Amino acid sequence: MLDVGGVTLLDRVLAAAAGAEQIVIVGPRRPVSTANATGVTLTFTTEQPPGSGPAAALVHGLAFVTAPLVVVLAADVPFAATVVPRLIDAITARADVDAALTVDHAGRRQPLLAVYRTEAVRRAVDGDRWIGRSMRALIGALHVLLVPAIGVEALDCDTPEELATARSVARAVQVAARAPSMSPPTG
């Protein structure tokens, strides 16, 4: 529910999933913008036991998924909207790939900023054994393609400093959008 540029983190992530037929939110029920709730089925659910980790949450959320591809976005990646189409393009272009993961500027794989083949993940998991296990262990069983982040796409808000950075970036984007065009008149 934290705000970045006047929009909650959850609403920013929902906007990054624009065009989805269904969205599964694994976590507590939260209010969402009506713009994000229009025309898409939103399902709220919680992994059991609650707080058992991202891998358990992904495995639990897959129980609600019928699509062949699943976009997985952590709720704290406010600038994910531009990388999602590249992730989808990357995985659909390669039939031999199980997942397209964003890789940040430090070379870290971002398994919660990724697109997965639903059936590949289902084959890689075995029931509840993912409770308390890492996403790194889950993706270790998959053939992964890395998609480099551009700019702040992979910025996540894990710390107050990262949240402050995200807010600063959002303010700069808003200021730039309001600036008059410096292009010479045509004609």
Q: CA-to-CA distance for 117 and 148, rounded, in angstroms? A: 19
Q: What is the pLDDT of residues 5-22, one digit of tens each?
A: 999 999 999 999 988 888
Backbone region of residue 53 per phi and psi (left: phi > 0; alpha: psi in -120 to 50; beta: other values):
left
Q: Would the pTM count as exceeding 0.75?
A: yes
Look at the alpha carbons of 33, 147, 154, 178 in this order and tell me if their dihedral is positive or negative: negative
Strands 41-45 and 22-26: parallel
The domains located in the chain, with CATH, are 3-176 (3.90.550.10)
Q: CA-to-CA distance for 87 and 100, rounded, in angstroms? A: 6
Q: What is the pLDDT of residues 89-134, one digit of tens each?
A: 999 999 999 999 999 999 999 999 999 999 999 998 876 577 778 8
